Structure 1
Amino acid sequence: MKLKDLELTDNNHFVAMEYYYLILNRTFLVLKTKGYLIGIQGNGLISVEGGKDILTRQITSNMAIKGDLTNPYSYLKNKFLEKIVDLDLLDGSILNANKINFIIKTSDIKSAVYNSSKKFGMGPYPHDGRVTIETYDNKKREFIILGNQSGENIANFITIK
């Protein structure tokens, strides 16, 4: 199964940001297929535009999302997705292409919990709270649901086996 062959619907994918190392972030296109939750890096570090000096303003301007912030696809960059569009999503090649990508068996997911509270530090970026996924080996991943998407619906479709 390849990304280019998938039809994206409301019940098989979402766009989310994940914080790591406390303040850094990355954005994913997360797909739910039969038996798997697949995360494909869709963007690198994102920042809010601003700063007092010209260098900081230039850097943050380059890392800021432009366009319709309610559209979750605005947070994705083609250069990340193009790397894996022709790769098999389930054979591990997307993990070799980018170590940040992930594959989680849905049978390993213990829970997907929606938290409607806003994530601190998101500035002007609209988001519908967070979905925390916990696996049976007690690993957790917290995804900030970007743009106009329903975190509650996402948590529900993740847990449907």
Structure 2
Amino acid sequence: MVTTTKSLFNVLAPNPNIIDTFHEMTRCLKLMQMDKLSMCMTMLKISGNKVQMSAAGMPPVFIYKSENQTIEEHVMRGMPLGTFSNFPYSLLESELSTGDTILLMTDGFPELFNDKKEMYGYRRARNIFEELAKETPEEIISKLKSAGSDWVNDNDPDDDVTFVVIKIK
């Protein structure tokens, strides 16, 4: 599924319309009849000082706004790719400024459980990102990984934990 979706992404990503891209990916995946397999994805299109985004079964996108030092939390409810044809995915847009920082992550990070069976949670993920947002992307990712590792006492996570950090210049 991952290889197929990556291939579709390479072919379809140049399409400027994220929603059309998601619909076409779903159409192709359904034609392959991979019963009960689906793919979650967040897609961004950054052009000038604007970002368009949509998500198929992914956590919120956090954008740190350097001008007023706040976090925008963009929740986009959407079914994973390959599940429902013509699902009404939402398309959100935000203006970007120099110094803004975008965080994309898989649900593996906020859904980490510690020894007490407490989940790390989206609020904690947002709060730590807010503390780290002025740092470089490499530092942010390193410190997020450390926070997750500390939360689980260096045990292996149950799910993948992936981060993408984009700093606007």
Bigger fraction of residues in strand: 1
How does the TM-score come out when normalised to structure 1?
Answer: 0.29
Rg: which structure is higher?
Answer: 2
Higher-RCO chain (CA-CA 8 Å, sequence separation at least 6): 1
